[in-house]
Structure 1
Amino acid sequence: MNRFDYVRPTTVDEAVRAIASGANARFIAGGTNLVDLMKYNVERPERLVDITRLPLDRIEERDGGLSLGALVTNSTVAYDDRVKARYPLLSSAILAGASGQLRNAATTGGNLLQRTRCYYFYDDATPCNKREPGTGCAAIGGVNRIHAIFGTSSSCIATHPSDMCVALAALEATVRVAGPGGERTIPFADFHRLPGDTPERDTTLGADEIVLAVDLPDADFGAHHTYLKLRDRLSYAFALVSVAAVMRLDGDTIASARFALGGVAHKPWRDAQAEAFLAGKPATQETFAAAANIVVAEARPQSENGFKIELARRAIIRGLTQAAAGTPQSQSDKRIA
């Protein structure tokens, strides 16, 4: 681990000035991802800006929805009564991830900004365009069982590791950020990036900006939702494929539905065509299978992860079935319902 300066601002303006000072600076709060990356010499910041004293640690009512401060811990969000009642999908997704100890430390803002768990990204002895632009992608043609099947490029096939973000994508949250030019709002669909030719950039957040909060819209998907996570072991493992689904029904007809996939792309993956197809259709296995086929038709597997296509297809069908039936996947009894 390299030497670094350490500052602890007490206001958002001070934090923005510290991160925009010209040094190779990083924000730190829970540190559950950044500290690991520093130990592996993947991240070598010259300055750490400790933001744990900023007033961003509350869940508040906002515009009919809820605002999750960037420093609210994952555990606080998951167990908040308002979240459980109005956005149970989000609570379920958070409880599917990491461990209780990590959820107690990890923050809302940090979860949005966590980096890929690609083997090659963590190994500084191997080429990785995300870690060191222009060196190549060792995962392409290498060990790529856990890697992306959607939205990849010749520069990177890494996946985004978050569970929480998959739910936030399906819920169509927004991200409020601040920088030297003031505050702005980023739709969640636009916050994370596909790799393209610049895989070192995970998000559209500016280098001199800070996440203030994630805002949940005024919506109620309480009854018909599920977060289904498929992985190599039942706990403390990242998703091979996950599905966050919310649905509104009019009798046995789908009035509207949204779903996002995790573990398959550089960002939470949604398919607008598949979601539009579901509207007005009967909530049946046949309908869900047809929607799943629309999604996986765009998949482009690597040498070792072709199994993810069929796994994703089945997960979409099962996730939509659970959401329609109002029988969400339990995160304590992880047997698939």
Structure 2
Amino acid sequence: MTESLATGGPADDATEIRERLRAAIRREIARHDPTDDARQPLELIVESSLRYSEKDGALSVTALDAAGNPLAGGEGDAGAEAAIAAVLAELRRTRPALFKAAAVPDDTSGRDGLAADGPAPERDWLDVGSPDAPPAQGAAAQTAGTRPWPAFGAWFHRQMPRWRTAAFHGAERLDALRRRLPETLRGAGGTARAFLNRLPPGGFANRRLALGAAAALVLAAIAIYGIARTGSPAGEPGQTGSVGEEAAANRASLRGVPEVIDTSTLSVKGQVVHLYGVEWAPGGGKPEDLARYLAGREVACEPVGGTNAHRCRVDGKDLSTVVLYNGGGKATPEATEEMKAAAERARQARIGVWSR
């Protein structure tokens, strides 16, 4: 490594250590010759698999597998190199499509070249290959993925903001109608009485007919009033003030530690955020997979004009691209070329939604 990972005292805070470790990750990834569009996803995957701390003035780094068991590591530069290399070796074994070369040319590492060919992995995305994962679980996972409940849950969360706005409008209209109904009935009743008083004396039959007409007039007045209230212009200040503010809030930029709803949907500060360019599909993985990947990190989400989706970034990396690269969903027609290329790479590697 060109820059030592040894700490130098109080001036070396957690941010500096993290940046040095990220630089080491980038150098090691470059040695493994990844594909052009795999570099950023690999950086995030490797970093989320490392745990580091200061020990006796030196940085101690440990690599963990998907089950949380240590793979390799140690203190100082050598320990960091070993930890990063262990994660990349496991990724090369389980995700060969992420790399161009069949093996890393390294005479000093003592590692044998790992073949890029092999059976397509059937694990959910972000599972970097627990060595004791039972291979027989593939069929059960596929059967569970075909059930409609996960799809319904994701769709329900995406529709919830629109339903909340519609319910708010409906409640205001019903409340206004309830307050003005007595006045409307009094006006209709007065009109009916005036109509009856103008009738010439002609016996009971004429008055009975007139009463029927008056009742129809009252009902028509109520119906017309209700239709007018339902179809009132959206710009009336009494009805749209708070709803407009809520809609503006939903379209504002969001930043915070997200709650994962599914692999294409987050909840950031109570707002449902759909990842731009990502369509949920069975087999994309469990919410816990994405939550473990984010590892409590903050995301920054910007709304995309003309859609109900956001582009979210974690540590400067596009989250939609990472999800699609790992087979966590399918690319929508509006997805960027980079996102579509990431989804195509996942399809070729037969991972996530493409594993069946």
Q: TM-score range by the shorter chain?
A: under 0.3
TM-score, normalising length: structure 1: 0.24
Q: Which has the higher contact order (CA 8 A, sep 6+)?
A: 1
Structure with greater Cα Rg: 2
TM-score, normalising length: structure 2: 0.24
Query: Which protein has the bigger helix share?
Result: 2
Query: Which protein has the bigger strand share?
Result: 1
